[in-house]
Every structure is written in C-alpha cells, then in structure tokens.
Structure 1
Amino acid sequence: MCLAVFSFCPQRDAALVVYETRDQSIHLPHGRPAAAGFGIDTASYACHWRDNPQLLDRVWTFRIGHDRDLLAEPIIGGLDAGGGTWMAVNQRTGVYARILIAPMASGELGESASDELRARRASLGYVTRSGLCLDAVSYPSAAAAAKGLQTDLPAALDRDRKLMLPLFLLLADASDAYVVRLHEDGRVEVTPITDCGTHVLTVRGLDTPAAALSQILLDRLAEQPRPDTDPASWDGWLSAFAIDGRISDDDYRDPSWRAHRSTALQPPYLNTLGQTRHQRAPWPSQADAGEVEWTKSTTCVVIGQDGLRTFLYEERHVTPGQPWPQTISAAAFPASSADYTLVTELAAR
C-alpha cells in the first residue's frame, strides 16, 4: 500500500512538505534499472522525459505528450518500468503530483495485479495511469491543474475511447493543495485542502478510518516538528516512519504478522487474496515473485513560493533471480536523513 503524508501551510517558507512511499512488485525495475532497460544511463530521479522524450511514446497522456513545448519544463520524478511515473514535481513552478490507486465501486482496489489481468483490461481499452502525474505538473499551477483534470481528463479519455482505473492524486503547490479522485464511472472529484495540518493519503482515501495506519502515523507525527528545507529537519518525521524498533525479526517471522498495520515501510509481503494477504513473503522457492511486494522507495519533498526547494530519495532493488530479504535488518530501510540522497542539481529559479 503506497501512501503520501503531507503538510500544507501556504504562509510558511516551506509551504508544502510531502513524504511518500511506493510499494511495488519486488522484481519490477524502477529508477536507474528501469532507465537502463530503455538504454538510458541516468539517476533514478531526474528530468527523464525532458531528456528522453521518447519515453512519452510508452504512456498515455492527454497534455504533455501532445505539446512537446511543455517538455522544456524541469519536471523531475521517479521512472517506472513502463516509462511513466508515480510522482513528479515541476522544479520551476513547484506543482507536485503523487498518484495512488483507489477503490472501485465494488470496494476492490483498482489495480491490475497480474499480467493476465493487465492484458485483459488493455483489451477493453484501459490505459496506464503512469502518465497522469506528468500531465498534472505541466500546468502552470496546482489550481490550473485541478481545473484541467476535471475537464480535460474525461474529455481526452472520451476522445480516445479509453478507460482508466480509479485513482487518487495528491496535487499541490505553494499556494493550493487538492486531493483529486477519478471514479470508476469517469467522474473527477476535487477536494481542496484548506487547513494547515498534517494529512495521510492512502489507497483508501484521505485521513480515513478505513486505513488504520493513517491515525497511527498521525499520532506519531504529532510529537515531531514539521520539516523544512534543511534535510536534517526531516529526522523527526522519518523517525515516525521508521521500521527499526517497531518490528523485530521475530515479529516479522510470526505467522500473525501483516503488512500495513504499524509502519509506513513494508518488508517483503504477499499481495494476494484470502488468508495469506499481507503475510510475510516466504523463501523465493515457496512463493510466486509476482505476488511479492515491498516498499521500494521513499521521497521527501519541500515546495516553497519559488518552486522546488528540497528533494530527498532512497530506494532498494532486488533483481529477478535474486532472493528477497528474509529479515528486517537485511531490508536496509532508512532511519534518518543520512540514509537519503539529496538531489542537488535543481533547475535554476
């Protein structure tokens, strides 16, 4: 379960601070390994689409892929295996977007958990959501993007006779913040964030009791100072998200352990249905790698009135054929800002 934790206070110098986690199939490449698969040698988080516009041929977009002048914008983000992304930020304007899957009308999460299901949905006209963050941050402001998504996205899907699975999108800059929801029937709902507080967006919604972990994290964060542009200022929040001291190796081996119950970071677990759902992933010889997920990366972003101010990231990779970690300590999860890489080559403002 991916999540985004954010605090939006437009009167502050650090108007928007966002921490996000990405849970994904354990052998699916992302970042630098994904780029290498496209023949690109680059850092995991970079201006991938400005520097390699051919990547946009791999994902469905309704805006940036149809106006190549927009590619001049310094849009930085992670790179997924399909050529798109789950999060992006325009360094110049400070528009930030982070996409999460959302429930369908049945309550089932709108995800394609297998190659067979992905192929079947593609045959029905479903397109990937991984171009949407790029479209969103290509608008001049978060307010303009929110308005555009409400009108332009449904119109483009209708024009192209395409469908898109439900989603949540955290959309914000230094002036405005929104949670955008695309429903299964194509409706786009926009919820403004008006209070200067801390929020948790998960695949179940914003600050929802349906995701028990949300309140657990909010309670921990209430004891920590709000981060600012100094990377070290994130240490309080990162201690609230850390797995060290909260789950031991013995806890992880216990048959009753389940992911997403007590920590933001998830060691390898089974993304299956039934009784095995969210159990610890066993030895590779005893599990289908396509059913194993874990937290592959996290980022910390600060937006100010002059655009992107701070960008930190950390990640971990397990290549096909390589066994996944069987203990918490072997998973190498971050504990403080010292475990993160600071992106220093930010666009001139």
Structure 2
Amino acid sequence: MCLAVFIHRPGNEDAFVVYETRDQSIHLRQGRMVTASGESYGCHWRDDPGLLRRVWTMRFGRDEALLGQQVRGGLDAGGGTWVAVNEDTGLYAKILIAPTVSGELGESPSTELRQQRAKAGYVTRSGLCLDAVSYPSAAEAIAGLRALPATLAAEGRRMLPFFLLVADAEHAYVVQHHDQDDIEVHPVTPNEVHVLSVRGLDAPQATLTGLIHERLAGLPAPGADPVSWDPWLATFGLAGYLDERSYQDPAWRAHRMTALQPPYLNTTDETRHRRAPWPVDVDPGEVEWTKSTTCAVLGRRRVRALLYEERHVEPGEPWPTAIADLSFPRTSSDYTAVVTPVPA
C-alpha cells in the first residue's frame, strides 16, 4: 500500500529520515524517478515543461524560475509526482490519497466517474508535491499551501482528499485536505517514529500501522549510509512474517500486513482490479503490478541520501514465482534504479 514511515529529529545531522512506498492499480500506472542531474533516466520537468500542462499546480508550473531548482521526483503517468525532494533546500514532500466521505480511496476505476469528476472541475493532486518543495522551507510551504482552498475556488476547481507530508531539517507537517475543500495542518511530534497511510497519521484503525510500530520498536533510525537502512527494510516486507499459505487464505490482505500490494487482474469482467490468485493460475496477460519505494535522509538545507527502486509487471511478462520475491527491496543493496548519496 502507499505509506510513509519517518522520524523527524531537529538538530540531528540526519534530521529527517523517511521510507515511502507507492503501489498503483492498473488504471493509474506510475512512471519513473526523474532527477535533476546527469544520471537521470526519466524526463525532468525543467527539460520538458509540457509535462506540467497536464497537471494542476499552484505555483511550480506557473513560474519558469522555479523550474531551475534541483528537484527530484517520481514521474507518474499524468506528468506529476507522488514524492519530491529539493536538493537546493533539503525539502521533502510525499502525497497520499485520503478517503472520501463515501469511503472511496484513490482515483476511481470507473471511466465514467472520472469523466464526471473532470466535468465538475476536479483536478489531479499530483502537482502538489512539486508546489510544496518549490518553497524555501517547510514552514513557508505550509504557509503557501494554506491558500489552496481559496486558489481552487477562485479557478472553479476542486480536488479529492489527500494527506501531504512536508518536511525539512527544522520542521515536519502533515496537511490533510477534506471533501469540503478545507485543510488542516498537523505539526509532527519530533523524535518519534510515525506512519502515514491512506487512513491518516498513526491511524489506530490501520492494522499495518500498528505492526510497523511494533516491528520498529527498539531499532535505530537509519542515516545517510545506505546499509543503515537494512534493519528497517527487513520489517516492511513478507520475509519472516508471511508465506504462500497466507496469500492463499481468502481472508488475507497483503496491504494490511506488509508494505506490499499484490498484483492485480486487468480483466474486463467483475474480477477486474482484484488481486491475482497465488500461485498464478490465470492468463499472464491478465496480470499487472507496479510498485516503487524511496528512502530519503535530509540534513540542514541538503539531501544527505536518496535511494529509489521500482518494479513493473506488464501484461504477459513473467513475474516472481515466490511470494517473498514480491517483498522488495529486502536490503539497501536491492535499490538498483537510483542509489544516490547526494553531495553537499
């Protein structure tokens, strides 16, 4: 499932440490991590500003000067992102969907409903991380984001609910946007491990939140050395907690037990968007899956380390034959797409 696990320690050299993961169903695939430097294997918004015409932003896509900032972020299929860091300022943002009044989560798989929302003025949330990290500091980002409801109203726009984590070395906040288009800002308690999920910050009703708190109890917080992440990473997956028999149990839901969403079916009947059976006894052309995960460490006005890994399963492609193999990465050495201690 989508979540962020983090600790904020003002005054510490590794002041903000965060692990985030993103799982997406097949109707909303993600793209790749984009970087502001030479090792990029995705397109940067600075190099292709046309990407920003596909997403709604408060300021990042409206001020060309902001495109010169050293921003890294995941590039989703819509041209926005779910996570971003600013190397110039050491500012971080991660967005998660939040339940609507009806309890619905995320973008609806119904094409008709998505079209209805577009006609009603709803805009994507995927530009907000770029907006947030374009400010000089987390405190200034929060001040700017408080204008979101008024800005949306002035343009006749609306936005579905979300949680937005915004942090730098000095401050960390969770912004919650409601169905009623108002927002709440919650300062994060320092020196404690927190779990932000689609149910909220340290939500007691979220089974996985409680499990992560239990598993991390007593473990040291990671730092800029990638190897220091290994104890945390071991708690987020399946290894040692679940096996194939758990997956075969109809009552089991992966996202309630691990930082993992199982593969989906892309069929056209009533099974569409349901998890694929295990072991796989369906046509491989009916299975899709996409997941990414990032580890970030922020110091004072700098990004001290950034690790990124992603995996996609397209229709017809082979996918792991052991359930434990879906639990990636198990150690810091599994971060192959981007493993970047960022210099000062």
Once residues 147 and 216 of structure 1 are traced to their aligned partners in structure 2, the CA distance between those partners, rounded to angstroms, is 34
Contact 2:97/2:198 (<8 A) preserved = yes
Aligned to 1:92: 88
**1:208 corresponds to 2:203:** yes
1:221 aligns to what?
A: 216
Q: In the alignment, which of 262, 269, 272 is matched to residue 267 of structure 1?
A: 262
Q: Which has the higher helix share?
A: 1
Q: Which runs of 5+ in 2 are unaligned?
A: none
Q: Does the C-alpha gap of structure 1 residues 219 and 72 become closer, same or farther in structure 2, counting only changes over 3 Å?
A: same
TM-aligned CA deviation for residue 344 of structure 1: 3.3
1:144 aligns with 2:137: no
- Root-mean-square deviation over aligned CA pairs: 2.8
Q: Compute the displacement of 1:113 (Å).
A: 2.8
Aligned to 1:159: 154
Q: Which residue of 2 aligns with 1:111?
A: 107
Q: Give the Cα–Cα distance (whole angstroms) in 2 for the partners of residues 114 and 259 of structure 1.
A: 23
Using the TM superposition, name which of 105-114 and 188-197 deviates more.
105-114
With 318-327 and 63-72 compared, the bigger mean Cα shift is at 318-327
Question: Is the 8 Å Cα contact of residues 224 and 341 (structure 2) preserved in structure 1?
Answer: no
The yes-or-no answer on 1:180 pairing with 2:175 is yes
CA distance in 1 between partners of 2:202 and 2:58 (Å): 30
For residue 102 of structure 1, what is the amino acid of its counterpart?
A
For residue 208 of structure 1, report the CA deviation from its aligned partner: 0.9
**How far off its partner does 1:256 sit?**
2.6
Aligned counterparts of 1:58 and 1:66: Cα–Cα separation in 2: 13
Q: Report if aligned partners of 1:136, 1:145 keep a CA contact under 8 Å in 2.
A: yes
1:130–1:223 Cα change, 3 Å: same
Q: Aligned runs of 1:11-26 on 2, under 5 Å?
A: 11-26=11-26
1:253·1:280 contact (CA, 8 Å) conserved in 2?
no
- The correspondence of residues 296-335 of structure 1 with structure 2, limited to 5 A, is 296-322=291-317, 325=320, 327-331=322-326, 333-335=328-330
Do the aligned partners of residues 328 and 207 (structure 1) sit closer, same or farther apart at CA in structure 2, a change above 3 Å counting?
Answer: same
Query: How much has 1:241 moved relative to structure 2?
Result: 0.9
Report the Cα offset of residue 277 of structure 1.
Answer: 11
Percent of aligned positions that are identical: 60
| 4+ residue segments displaced more than 6 Å | 275-279
Aligned-residue offset at 1:146: 0.6
> TM-score, normalization: structure 1?
0.87
CA contact (8 A) 2:265 2:274 kept: yes
Task: Give the unaligned 5+ runs of structure 1.
Answer: 36-40
CA distance in 2, matches of 1:111, 1:28: 8
- Match of 2:161, as an amino acid? P
